[in-house]
Structure 1
Amino acid sequence: MADDTTPGTKFKRVMLKISGEALMGDQGFGLHPPTVERIAQEVKSVHDLGVEICMVIGGGNIFRGLQGSAQGMERTTADYMGMLATVMNALGMQSALEGLGVFTRVISAIPMDQVCEPYIRRRAVRHLEKKRVCIFAAGTGNPYFTTDTAAALRASEMACEAIFMGKQVDGIYDSDPKQNADAKRFDRISYDDVLQKNLKVMDAAAIALARDNKMPLIVFSLDEPGGFRGILAGKGTYTTVHA
């Protein structure tokens, strides 16, 4: 690891990927403001360490393109609707972060200048250098690609040192720990093993992109208070996926 990492953590710049469902709390749909606020507090605690933070948030709490397609909607249209849902989530998180005094930019792969910035890589890098949180919205801007792939792509473009994936469980298991009490958690696992064991951590395109760019993936529980900050310091329970 480089010598210029931030004191108190092993990382200088990271990508945080969370699902849209993480924002809906117990209400089953949409945005749950107290939950958004709690996650924003987690992000702020890491930002306060001086870590540069990128974020990608899914849109499944509002609209999931694959489900729309399965119900008969044309896939490309359904995926674009899902991309717009991620913009709504990004704006909600931006509002929460800025309410905590954290300067934030929402950067969309689909231009919508009155709402957020268009994606320009060099401008996004400059925002990070100025310690602004950058939330990348609208996926990659292309249908048939998930927000997991967008996270792997933007993390690589922004020269992040790792992708942190906040889940409802504290790592990757060989089966669903909520259904199998004997499920085994992996401390470390390779991307190849994730694919071979069909562990459903990220979609195959995202895994291939992260693996080819030797981008570590750290899977941890977003429900654990202080978990994000702790994991960055190498503490807590998590799974590391390596190339």
Structure 2
Amino acid sequence: MSEPTIALVTGANKGIGYEIAAGLGALGWRVGVGARDRQRREAAVEKLRAAGTDAFAVPLDVADDASVAAAADLIADQVGGLDVLVNNAAIGGALPQTPTTVDPATVRAVVETNVIGVVRVTNAMLPLLRGSASPRIVNMSSSVGSLALHTTPGIDMGPIPVAYLASKTFLNAVTIQYGKELSDTKILINSACPGFTATDLTDFRGARTPRQGAAIAIHLATLPDDGPTGGFFDDAGPVPW
């Protein structure tokens, strides 16, 4: 019997992250539930296991160097490898967030989690991913980070909190550069837009369910070896940068 594919999903204790973990678990994968809150993390693992997923807990604060290093050590020592990383953990930041009213500290906090956290986790997990036969990295982004969509006449993206918006534009740029640097490896890395999804990040105003929002991440996590890298996708296909 072949060894199961091993994935780590950050921010997997609820919402889209939980549904990504559940969807990958339904494929027979072993899934690490990365989350800061111990109680929510353990509850998510228990719920996933009850549904048949081979889930394990990964204490993980993406904004903390020591926490990320410890998570990488835990996976290496207790699991023995990693095939897929889904960087899902993100925050929206305090309001108001119009450009003229946003507190610079809010911008700094959002970027620390939504961008620097992705870099921190990705780089810590790369040694494990390099040992995989088909490594994949998925960065959960948003179409609100698309400069093309924001500047296309006739398209109204609505009033988007500027710190969150800028963090997703930044994340997309980082994904492009990872794709270029890792182009001579087996690692495929892409940004994913889940659509306007009803989660606590959107005050549950989205039209899509977390399970629907998770679908694009599951698709990109299961790309064939000749799949795209350094791209930005939603359910309909490529999203303009």
The two structures share one fold, judged by TM-score above 0.5: no
Whose relative contact order is higher, 1 or 2, with alpha carbons under 8 Å and at least 6 apart? 1
TM-score interval, smaller chain: 0.3 to 0.5
Structure 1 or 2: more helix by fraction = 2
